[in-house]
Amino acid sequence: MSEADRQLWQLSAMELADLIRNRDVSSREVVEAHLARIEAVNPEVNAVTRVLAEHALDAADAADRSDPSGPLHGVPFTIKENIDLAGTPTTQGVPALADAVATVDAPVVERMLRAGAIPIGRTNLPEFGFRISTDNPLHGRTRNPWNRDLVAGGSSGGEGAALATGMTPIGLGNDIGGSLRNPAYCNGITSLKPSTGRVPHYMSMPPQDGGMAIQAMLVEGPMARSVADLRLALTILAGRDIRDPVSVDAPLSGAAVPKRAVMVTEIPGGAIEPATVAAVREAGAALAAAGWDVIESTPPELERIQEIWGRTMAHDLIVNMPLMELVISEALAVGLKQLFEHFDPDTMRSAEVDAERSRLARLWSGYFVEHPVVIGPTWTRLPFVHDADLDPDTGMALITDTLRFITPGNLLGIPAVCVPCGVEGGLPRGVQIYADRWREDVALAAAEIVEAAMPPVCPIDPR
Instruction: Give dist(CA 422, CA 293) in Å, integer.
Output: 23
Q: Examine the residue annotation and report whether 337 is marked as an active-site residue of this protein.
A: no
Q: Do the Cβ atoms of 99 and 189 come closer than 8 Å?
A: no
Q: How many CA atoms lie within 13 A of 168 on its CB side?
A: 32
Using alpha carbons, select from 148, 129, 126, 130 the residue that is nearest to residue 138.
126
Q: What is the Cα gyration radius of the chain?
A: 20
Catalytic one among 12, 133, 155, 156?
A: 155
C-alpha dihedral sign at 352, 357, 190, 30: positive
Q: Examine the residue annotation and report whether 155 is marked as an active-site residue of this protein.
A: yes
Catalytic one among 156, 179, 195, 247?
A: 179
Lateral strand order in the sheet of 260-263: 48-51, 118-123, 76-80, 170-175, 219-224, 190-193, 416-424, 427-434, 373-376, 260-263, 293-296
The DSSP 8-state label assigned to residue 48 in this structure reads E
Catalytic one among 80, 195, 226, 329?
A: 80
Q: Examine the residue annotation and report whether 329 is marked as an active-site residue of this protein.
A: no
Q: CB count, 10 Å around CB of 268?
A: 11
**Burial track 305-331 (b if 16+ CB lie within 10 A, e otherwise):** bbbbbbbbbbbbbbeeeeebeeebbee
Q: What residues pair up with 181 in beta bridges, in sequence order?
A: none
Contact partners, residue 11, CB within 8 Å, separation at least 6: 19, 169
Task: State the chain's maximal CA–CA distance in angstroms.
Answer: 62
Q: How many CA atoms lie within 13 A of 416 on its CB side?
A: 34
Instruction: Give dist(CA 356, CA 350) in Å, integer.
Output: 10
Using alpha carbons, select from 234, 146, 249, 173 the residue that is nearest to residue 447.
234
Q: Which residues are catalytic?
A: 80, 155, 179
